[in-house]
Structure 1
Amino acid sequence: MIGIWILGDQLWLKQAALASCSQHENLPVILIESQQHIQARPYHQQKLVLIWSAMRHFAEELRQHKYSVTYKIAADFQTPLQAWIQANKITELRVMMPNDRPFTKVIQSLELPCQITLIANNHFLWSTSEFHNYAQGRKRLLMEDFYRQGRRRCQILMEKDQPVGGQWNLDKENRQPPKGKLNTPPAKWFAADAITLDVIDKVKSLSFPTYGEIEPFHWGVTRKQALQVLDWFIQQRLPHFGPYQDAMVTGEETMWHALLSPYLNIGLLHPLEVIQAAEQAYQEKQLPLNSVEGFIRQVLGWREYMHGIYHYVDANYSEKNWFNHTQKLPEFFWTGKTEMNCLHQILTQVQRTGYAHHIQRLMVLSNFALISGLSPQEVENWFHAAFIDAYDWVMQTNVIGMGLFADGGVLASKPYAASANYINKMSDYCKSCVYSHKERLGENACPFNFFYWNFLDQHRDKLQTQGRMSFILKNLDKMSDEELNSIRKQAQDWHINL
């Protein structure tokens, strides 16, 4: 007898383990809420609600499709699996290959009285073996090259072998700073139903540390709701998504962003249907190409690239620390209590929602962590705990590689380091801050400024090897030894005073 174990980020009727069985009526299926598993770090309470509520809703959907569903709430995975296998006389347990390496080890460590078969994961457009074949022998593994190959491979926004509009990448049109009243459309949120309210009560009662605010909880928890969010994005947000996708505005938590990553990452949506919906809207409604291409690049390019790189690099990637940064993560990352307004705005937003958009993550949170010398491992652990769409495969590459350049340039062509000037240009945060974005020394100096110049000075030798950094590094030569020494001291004192 075959049995299927469905993990909490594999909630799709066409997922590979279910699809591997020709008959599904009365097929034994099990889903497990393990309290031990969620104690690895203090996860955001809304993430726990999202996963457990989506799992419970998916169990009901499976029952409607005549699967024989067992749903267990347990301390661990081993005990309920063992009992279920024996009760159903299971001889082969099939599991779709986990996205996260650590969970593959969890499965391999189980002692079960039956064969365990891992079925190749089908939640991505590129399988791990296909990406490996693509990557082998290449001198560089740039996302742009991979993205173009993905466009050709899937025939997305293509005219024969050429990109629609004549250009592969329209990013230059998508970096406008916020100006005037933006008139952003509201996000598509949902009221919690009875199942979700039960889960909220359960998460509130947990006896171990968690993070963030649990209510109001507005995320979707079913495939039907995820499809509504996709349709809402296509209709209301995609037409104007492009120009301001890098902008940050106080009180505008979601702007024109899609809010689809939590649903994609647990299987309620498949990347191809998301990409095709955007392409179809472009064709039928003549939407601006820069908006459509910019969004498709995030899913077809960046998301697939992150997943592929994660499974391509060595298992010790998570320990990379190219700059040898060892400063402890400041407590304000957990509390949001800091006088730096940009960090305060974003960190309190994450506390409330579990969400921040990609520039808030990259150019404020990760940027600060990079230039202030925070431990990459502590930063990655915080990202993994704090964000509603966070998983090992997402955060290792995005934080260790992209955000902190701790891999020495495996996937980014230069460190994404910037002073307060960038934040002032792309947001309104600096207007309401006690620090001056123009000053790099003294009591009123924005920490982003003295940390930025200290970072360039401290790592000049290493950064010199990154071709795109040489022009910026020449600015250090214009500073006097006295000013550089003052910058070094102010950066050092900041950590001591903290």
Structure 2
Amino acid sequence: MTIGIWILGDRLTTKQLSLSNNQSNKQQIPVIFIESSEYVKQHPYHRQKLVLVWSAMRHFAAELEADNWKVTYKIAADFATPLQDWLATNNITELQITTPCDRPFHNLIQSLDLNCEIKFLADNHFLWSKEEFITWANSRKRLLMEDFYREGRKRFNILMDGKKPLGGKWNYDKDNRKPPKKNLSTPSPLTFEPDAITQEVIDWIKQEKFSDYGRIEPFNWAVTRQQAQQVLTYFVQECLPQFGTYQDAMVTGEYTMWHSLISPYLNLGLLEPREIIDAVETAYYQRELPLNSVEGFIRQVMGWREYMHGIYHFQDENYSQSNWFEHHQPLPEFFGDASKTDMNCLHQTLTQVEETAYGHHIQRLMVLGNFALIAGISPQEIENWFHSAFIDAYDWVMQTNVIGMGQFADGGVLASKPYAASANYINKMSDYCGNCHYNKSDRTGDRACPFNFFYWDFLHRHHERLKSLGRMNLVLSHLKRISENEFGEISSLARKWWKNQQIS
């Protein structure tokens, strides 16, 4: 038997089993990387995402080659042709692959006509395996993230004082929702100049025009494990102390605030979840950092990230087509060109995404996702856009975050109520409303903010369905304050807005 290893673009780590199990025989075991131009054309990916993935792949391939692995790197139209040639050339009878996180790519591999055995190895890049999560989920009457998070804290002994949570509370969310103050002094993100490999990738993407979405330069992301570790260290030292307090805040021109910017590297395999958690917890003990910041960040990594991955594999493939509210509006053109909206919160956020392929979690959830939800955009269209636009996006991440959390399209599998809000929330948590064409307080009239009339139209339109969700009763009671005549005006504004839209 001759073993060959196919390294996938989102598993750029020597800790994956195909490499770690064969370390002693590395000089005899062929390894292949493949860039497929046809595969990336399935989505209009942000060009910086293409640069990140392909540059990181090329850097990792060079590292393995320097470590005496037999590396082949192919740039091709598809995956099948270079695989078949490589398998034949090296007489490979068993192809080892880390099991892909994304179902569509797993299915694609299984559909390939390869003259060898395909052996999928367990993905060890999560704290919980998908089998462990499914076992946990099957034992529960409810699938609340908070329950899962507390189980994880106890299981891995993170921020614990014996059997109790450190500080006496599991959750410090109430301390982590502060609106932004004026004249905040935020740290500049750590950036990296493109080296020769990255510049070659940038030039290649420009030449081949794989996508026209997003600014490709300046490109400042890390592309190696060593650089990703520097980003983690910088976050822990410079950003973590203030991270929690203002993690939900949005400020014009402040793209990164105190956020970590490590999700792209974590999802590529350049960083491991446990090393991140250990670094943050160690800093807490050594420097006596604020517990609300430390706990809030750890909850994102070992709570939300692990939970989203688990839910993705717990649900069947039809989950991606969920549409509980039966929303079918198309994606407005301004999602592809931020200059085409006069809503300042959307303009600022979408401009930021175009320039950097990044937005923090509240910009994603309460600006972009919130608007899509209350305006009635198809969950599948907005999920496809998120998948294409964000530098850390993959199928397993975006289905659960967008279909489940952002759009409540699963009817409550993941969240207990929709994340729907009017302009009042955005005004509280940002400075966007101050420079907007619309009046943040109006829900009718010529200057009515679309977030307002869409929000009240959403509640009115789905009143009967929303009544089944206990946490919505207080919000729904506010509908009584609005007359039928005003609801008529609100509904008319919503219809008129859509009539005037250009569609992507």
**In the alignment, structure 1 residue 445 sits paired with structure 2 residue 448:** yes
- Residue in 2 that maps onto 1:411: 414
- Residue in 1 that maps onto 2:134: 132
- Residue in 2 that maps onto 1:123: 125
Q: Deviations over 1:301-332 (max 9, x none)?
A: 00000000001101100000000001110000
Q: Deviations over 1:429-473 (max 9, x none)?
A: 000001000110011010000000000000001111111100110
SS at match of 1:280: helix
SS at match of 2:74: strand
Residues 47 and 211 in structure 2, CA contact (< 8 A), matched pair in contact too: no
**In the alignment, structure 1 residue 488 sits paired with structure 2 residue 482:** no
Residues 402 and 412 in structure 1, CA contact (< 8 A), matched pair in contact too: yes
| Aligned counterpart in structure 1 of residue 291 of structure 2, from 289, 292, 295 | 289
Taking structure 1 as the reference length, the TM-score comes to 0.99
Q: CA deviation at 1:25?
A: 2.7
- Residue in 1 that maps onto 2:324: 322
For 2:247 and 2:451, locate their aligned partners in 1 and report how far apart those are by CA, in whole Å: 22
- Residue in 2 that maps onto 1:182: 184
**In the alignment, structure 1 residue 465 sits paired with structure 2 residue 451:** no
Residues 234 and 278 in structure 1, CA contact (< 8 A), matched pair in contact too: yes
| Aligned counterpart in structure 1 of residue 207 of structure 2, from 195, 205, 208 | 205
Residues 59 and 69 in structure 1, CA contact (< 8 A), matched pair in contact too: yes
- Residue in 2 that maps onto 1:433: 436
For 1:400 and 1:210, locate their aligned partners in 2 and report how far apart those are by CA, in whole Å: 25
For 1:307 and 1:217, locate their aligned partners in 2 and report how far apart those are by CA, in whole Å: 28
| Aligned counterpart in structure 1 of residue 349 of structure 2, from 331, 346, 349 | 346
Q: Write the mapping of 1:364-379 to structure 2, written as runs, cut at 5 A.
A: 364-379=367-382
- Residue in 1 that maps onto 2:244: 242
Q: CA deviation at 1:66?
A: 1.1
Partner AA of 1:429 in structure 2: Y
- Residue in 1 that maps onto 2:360: 357
Residues 26 and 66 in structure 1, CA contact (< 8 A), matched pair in contact too: no
**In the alignment, structure 1 residue 13 sits paired with structure 2 residue 14:** yes
- Residue in 1 that maps onto 2:393: 390
Q: Deviations over 1:376-411 (max 9, x none)?
A: 000000000000000000000000000000000000
For 1:206 and 1:106, locate their aligned partners in 2 and report how far apart those are by CA, in whole Å: 24
Q: CA deviation at 1:207?
A: 3.9
Partner AA of 1:311 in structure 2: H
SS at match of 1:218: coil
Q: CA deviation at 1:493?
A: 1.1
For 1:149 and 1:189, locate their aligned partners in 2 and report how far apart those are by CA, in whole Å: 36
Residues 174 and 294 in structure 1, CA contact (< 8 A), matched pair in contact too: yes
SS at match of 1:36: helix
- Residue in 2 that maps onto 1:108: 110
Task: Give the fraction of aligned pairs with identical amino acids, expressed as a percent.
Answer: 64
Residues 121 and 127 in structure 1, CA contact (< 8 A), matched pair in contact too: yes
| Aligned counterpart in structure 2 of residue 230 of structure 1, from 221, 229, 232 | 232
For 1:307 and 1:205, locate their aligned partners in 2 and report how far apart those are by CA, in whole Å: 35
- Residue in 1 that maps onto 2:280: 278
RMSD: 0.7
- Residue in 1 that maps onto 2:5: 4
Q: CA deviation at 1:138?
A: 1.3
Q: Deviations over 1:227-275 (max 9, x none)?
A: 0000000000001101000000000000000000000000000000001
Q: Deviations over 1:130-163 (max 9, x none)?
A: 0010100311101000000010111100111111
For 1:158 and 1:479, locate their aligned partners in 2 and report how far apart those are by CA, in whole Å: 48
Partner AA of 1:368 in structure 2: F
- Residue in 1 that maps onto 2:263: 261
- Residue in 2 that maps onto 1:166: 168
SS at match of 2:268: coil
SS at match of 1:30: strand
Partner AA of 1:305 in structure 2: Y
Q: Deviations over 1:193-247 (max 9, x none)?
A: 0000000000101244331010000000000000000000000000110100000
Residues 98 and 121 in structure 2, CA contact (< 8 A), matched pair in contact too: yes
Which of 200-209 and 255-264 deviates more? 200-209
Residues 142 and 411 in structure 1, CA contact (< 8 A), matched pair in contact too: yes
For 2:120 and 2:417, locate their aligned partners in 1 and report how far apart those are by CA, in whole Å: 37
Partner AA of 1:87 in structure 2: T
SS at match of 2:25: coil
Residues 247 and 427 in structure 1, CA contact (< 8 A), matched pair in contact too: yes
**In the alignment, structure 1 residue 298 sits paired with structure 2 residue 300:** yes
Residues 55 and 197 in structure 2, CA contact (< 8 A), matched pair in contact too: yes
- Residue in 2 that maps onto 1:23: 25
Residues 430 and 437 in structure 1, CA contact (< 8 A), matched pair in contact too: yes
Q: CA deviation at 1:23?
A: 2.5
For 1:101 and 1:385, locate their aligned partners in 2 and report how far apart those are by CA, in whole Å: 17
Residues 170 and 294 in structure 1, CA contact (< 8 A), matched pair in contact too: yes
- Residue in 2 that maps onto 1:61: 63
SS at match of 2:208: coil
Residues 190 and 234 in structure 2, CA contact (< 8 A), matched pair in contact too: yes
For 1:32 and 1:98, locate their aligned partners in 2 and report how far apart those are by CA, in whole Å: 15
Partner AA of 1:123 in structure 2: H
For 2:424 and 2:217, locate their aligned partners in 1 and report how far apart those are by CA, in whole Å: 35
Q: CA deviation at 1:64?
A: 1.6
Q: Write the mapping of 1:30-109 to structure 2, written as runs, cut at 5 A.
A: 30-109=32-111
Q: Deviations over 1:41-66 (max 9, x none)?
A: 10000000000000000001101211
Structure 1 residue runs of 5 or longer lacking an equivalent are: none
Residues 51 and 198 in structure 2, CA contact (< 8 A), matched pair in contact too: yes
SS at match of 1:265: helix
For 2:358 and 2:409, locate their aligned partners in 1 and report how far apart those are by CA, in whole Å: 24
